[in-house]
Amino acid sequence: MDEHHEPWPRHVAVIMDGNGRWARRRHLPRIEGHRAGVKSARAAMEVCRDLGVPVLTLYTFSLENWRRPQAEVDELMRLLHRYLAREAPRLAANRVRFRALGRLGMLPAKVRAKVEELTAATAGNDRLTLCLALSYGGRAEIVDAINAAAAARVAAGREPGPLAPADIAAHLYAPDVPPPDLIIRTSGEVRLSNFLLWESVGARLVFVPELWPDFNAKRLAALVSAERARHAAQVAR
């Protein structure tokens, strides 16, 4: 890679969609699709590590997803808890720093405790930052950032407004993380579904037909490499 250029993408964000359809096609319960999706998530983590992508964000559970049938929400929370409880050794071995973005206060206390544990346990890792968007909504993030920015001003003895974009950017859920350069959505749906609305301003958007459990390491690596080459050619022009 040309050393004069910034590495690209600095941040890949994925809308992991299609688990339910993957399960339905196999006449399996939806949760089996989510289980298979965890394998794709691990593969994505390893691909980003191998390709030198510094940040990977996975859209794991949206604020809208709280409105799914209670049984599915419960199963997703159980699966999430198990992932968080078991993933520490793998993250340590891969030098992955774990972060969670979203209204984490809405998560079951057990899940939130695991989120906090894993965040603290991996804080010193430096190879890849893995962000899970959990109980996440883009509009809610912007609202939360505006309220936090105004509250910080008041705490500093100043007027709460007017606010500038930089004030809001400084109070997002992960203000130190660069915005995504590449956003990928699987399953053929062409929408953002309330994902990273503030941060996606300059992102390249790629929509692929594969269902998330079918989107394997090879496919993601090929996609990121192709996008990287396209970006390099564009910068060279």
Cα 35 from Cα 15, distance rounded (Å): 16
**Closest distance between ligand IPE and the C-beta of residue 116, in Å?**
21
DSSP assigned state of 173: S
Residue 52 dihedral angles phi and psi, to the nearest 5° = 75, 30
Q: Are strands 182-185 and 204-207 parallel, antiparallel or unpaired?
A: parallel
DSSP assigned state of 46: H
Choose among Mg ion, ligand IPE, none what residue 60 binds, the Cβ cut-off being 5 to 8 Å by kind.
ligand IPE
Q: Which is nearer to ligand IPE, 21 or 231 (CB)?
A: 21
Q: Which is nearer to ligand IPE, 132 or 224 (CB)?
A: 132
Residue 217 dihedral angles phi and psi, to the nearest 5° = -60, -40
x/- site string to ligand IPE, residues 17 to 36, per CB under 6 A?
Answer: xxxxx---------------
Span interacting with ligand IPE, options 15-23, 45-53, 107-115, 172-180, rule CB under 6 A: 15-23
Q: Secondary structure of 51-119 in the HEC alphabet?
A: HCCCEEEEEEEECHHHHCCHHHHHHHHHHHHHHHHHCHHHHHHCCEEEEEECCHHHCCHHHHHHHHHHH
62 touches ligand IPE by CB under 6 A: yes
78 touches ligand IPE by CB under 6 A: no
| Catalytic sites, residue numbers | 17, 65
**Closest distance between ligand IPE and the C-beta of residue 95, in Å?**
26
Chain residues in the site for Mg ion (CB under 5 A):
17
Chain residues in the site for ligand IPE (CB under 6 A):
15-21, 59-62, 64-65, 76, 187, 189, 191, 193
